[in-house]
């Protein structure tokens, strides 16, 4: 055994967007525990705490080998008192009491089941739990009014909770690609989300669609949805139109974190024949009916972006969610810039002056910029350019699995 004085502490940069996070994880037991606590916090509307656990988990994911001693963690960023306590518990006792009791908690289990229904968020789930609804049967029996998304979510619950395989994602890529080509000969489509990061399974399939000629992307989504619907390929869809130019403060407003692209959240009907093999193998079938019928339901997200915003949209929709959050935090805190899935805005370049503005000046310029464009928008036509503008080394999609 190595004694503590010989232990070399690990070292990683503070922001996840400064690190290369592959899918390889030498600390899965620890990161699973911290992720579960993050999930509990998020389901309890404690977002700050959730992010803290997500950041701690991401730091452990980035380590080159398994943590065996607390002393190896000295000096690592983002490991708060609470996360360290959980890690220590696991290293010393093989498990964290807090994690174990969370897993057993009726409230946590109910929140997981209910928010697992497409269209149900933590607020709705919480209300239902307070009304005594803890599972799907109780929800069905309750006579609760469900919106269209929730009805579809409940109906296809077993299929949707089943992970989507890469083969299924590729099959859907083929179908959506054909649909896009049919409605516009020049429109382009890319697979984004977890599959672009090299994941072999996902909870859904994400696509970004654009057109090489600015403005020609307008109207693509309704045509695409009609094409798919007329062929019976959609079990559910809800399209939200682009609202980027509707911000009350006008175009001078620095971009917010919420993106406003035209998007379609859908549930696809994927036939067994389309994946080239059976939809589900006998062993993994959720229910007999899932093998008898020759199709399964798959969540698919479609987003349309104008070409001028494509690089930002691609970066924003590739994830991971924590990587995105860290990019925006880096931009804001370290560079005085504001990054969204639409644009990069340099708020410190007021009247052409360079150098870092004081906090007061920055606050003032942000207030003014609601009315007059003070900073400047930075153009970029590739992800590489965006990283360069942010003063970051380029991290390819497969290394954004923070
Ligand atoms: P998700 O599809 O939720 O996540 P994922 O693809 O990384 O993981 P999974 O395999 O479980 O599907 O989101 C993909 C990316 O899209 C994520 O980086 C954040 C981004 N995104 C937005 O920008 N706006 C949104 O409203 C949503 C839901 C996601
Ligand atoms: Mn390794
Ligand atoms: Mn996804
Ligand atoms: Mn998605």
Q: What pLDDT, in 10s, does the model give residues 229-261?
A: 999 999 999 999 888 766 444 444 555 566 889
203 Cβ closer than 6 Å to some ligand 1 atom: yes
- Inter-helix orientation angle 47-61/81-93, to 10°: 50
Q: What is the CA radius of gyration of the chain?
A: 23
375 Cβ closer than 6 Å to some ligand 1 atom: no
Q: In whole angstroms, give the CA distance from residue 3 to residue 246.
A: 62
CA dihedral 253, 258, 262, 266 (to 10 degrees): -170
Q: In whole angstroms, give the CA distance from residue 358 to residue 336.
A: 10
Where residue 110 falls among pLDDT bands split at 50, 70, 90? very high
Residue with tokens 């290369």: 20
Q: Please indicate whether the domains covering 4-102 and 106-155 agree at the CATH topology level.
A: yes
CATH architecture of 106-155: Orthogonal Bundle (1.10)
Share of the chain above pLDDT 90, in %: 81
Q: How far is the CA of 52 from the centre of ligand 1 (A)?
A: 19
Whether 89 has a binding-site annotation, put simply, is: no
Distances in Å between the alpha carbon of 254 and those of 106, 316, 370, 391?
43, 16, 8, 20
The answer to whether residue 204 is catalytic is yes
Domain residue ranges in the chain: 4-102, 106-155, 164-312, 318-399
Sorted by sequence, the CB contacts under 8 Å of residue 139 that are 6+ apart come out as 114, 117, 128, 133, 154
Where residue 361 falls among pLDDT bands split at 50, 70, 90? low
Q: How far is the CA of 401 from the centre of ligand 1 (A)?
A: 12
Whether 4 has a binding-site annotation, put simply, is: no
Write the pLDDT tens digit of every residue in 55-72. Answer: 999 999 999 999 999 999
What ipTM does this complex have? 0.95
Does CATH place domain 164-312 in 3.30.460.10?
yes
Q: In whole angstroms, give the CA distance from residue 205 to residue 203.
A: 7
- Indicate the class that CATH gives domain 318-399: alpha beta
Question: Which ranges of 144-296 does DSSP label H, i.e. alpha helix?
Answer: 148-155, 157-161, 166-183, 193-196, 220-230, 272-275, 288-292
Write the pLDDT tens digit of every residue in 259-293. Answer: 889 999 999 999 998 886 555 544 455 555 656 89
Sorted by sequence, the CB contacts under 8 Å of residue 179 that are 6+ apart come out as 224, 227, 228
Select 4-102's CATH number: 1.20.1250.20, 3.40.50.10420, 1.20.120.420, 1.10.150.110: 1.10.150.110
User: What pLDDT, on a 0 to 100 scale, did the predictor assign at position 288?
Assistant: 57
Sheet of 337-339: strand order equals 337-339, 344-346, 376-378
Encoding tokens for residue 259?
A: 């993106």
Instruction: Assess whether pLDDT exceeds 60 at residue 2.
Output: no
Q: In whole angstroms, give the CA distance from residue 299 to residue 88.
A: 38
Encoding tokens for residue 252?
A: 């001078």
Nearest CA to ligand 1 atom 27: 317
Q: How far is the CA of 193 from the centre of ligand 1 (A)?
A: 6
Nearest CA to ligand 1 atom 13: 193
Q: Contact 71/9 with Cβ under 8 angstroms?
A: yes
């Amino acid at each position: 055994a190595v004694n503590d004085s010989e232990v070399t502490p690990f070292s990683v940069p503070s922001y996840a967007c400064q690190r290369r996070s592959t899918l390889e994880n030498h600390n899965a037991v620890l990161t699973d525990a911290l992720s579960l606590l993050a999930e509990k916090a998020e389901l309890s509307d404690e977002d700050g705490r959730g992010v803290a656990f997500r950041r701690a988990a991401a730091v452990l994911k980035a380590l080159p080998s398994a943590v065996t001693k607390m002393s190896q963690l000295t000096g690592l960023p983002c490991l708060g008192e609470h996360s360290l306590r959980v890690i220590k518990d696991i290293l010393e006792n093989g498990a964290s009491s807090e994690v174990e009791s969370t897993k057993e908690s009726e409230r946590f289990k109910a929140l997981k089941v209910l928010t697992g229904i497409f269209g149900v968020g933590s607020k709705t789930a919480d209300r239902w739990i307070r009304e005594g609804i803890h599972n799907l049967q109780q929800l069905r029996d309750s006579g609760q009014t469900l919106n269209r998304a929730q009805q579809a979510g409940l109906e296809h619950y077993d299929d949707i909770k089943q992970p989507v395989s890469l083969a299924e994602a590729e099959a859907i890529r083929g179908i959506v690609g054909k649909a896009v080509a049919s409605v516009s000969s020049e429109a382009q489509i890319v697979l984004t989300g977890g599959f672009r990061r090299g994941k072999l399974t996902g909870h859904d399939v994400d696509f970004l669609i654009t057109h090489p000629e600015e403005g020609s992307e307008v109207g693509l989504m309704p045509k695409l949805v009609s094409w798919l619907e007329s062929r019976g390929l959609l079990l559910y869809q809800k399209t939200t139109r682009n609202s980027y130019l509707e911000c009350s403060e006008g175009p001078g407003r620095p971009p917010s974190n919420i993106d406003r692209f035209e998007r379609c959240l859908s549930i696809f009907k994927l036939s067994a024949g389309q994946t080239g093999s059976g939809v589900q193998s006998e062993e993994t079938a959720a229910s007999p009916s899932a093998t008898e019928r020759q199709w399964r339901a798959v969540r698919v997200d479609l987003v349309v972006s104008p070409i001028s915003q494509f690089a930002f949209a691609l970066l924003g929709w590739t994830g991971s969610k924590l990587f995105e959050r860290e990019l925006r935090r880096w931009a804001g805190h370290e560079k005085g810039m504001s990054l969204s899935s639409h644009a990069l805005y340099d708020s410190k370049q007021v009247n052409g002056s360079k150098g870092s503005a004081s906090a007061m000046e920055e606050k003032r310029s942000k207030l003014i910029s609601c009315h007059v464009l003070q900073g400047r928008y930075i153009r970029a036509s590739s992800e590489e350019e965006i990283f360069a503008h942010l003063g970051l080394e380029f991290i390819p999609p497969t290394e954004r699995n923070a």
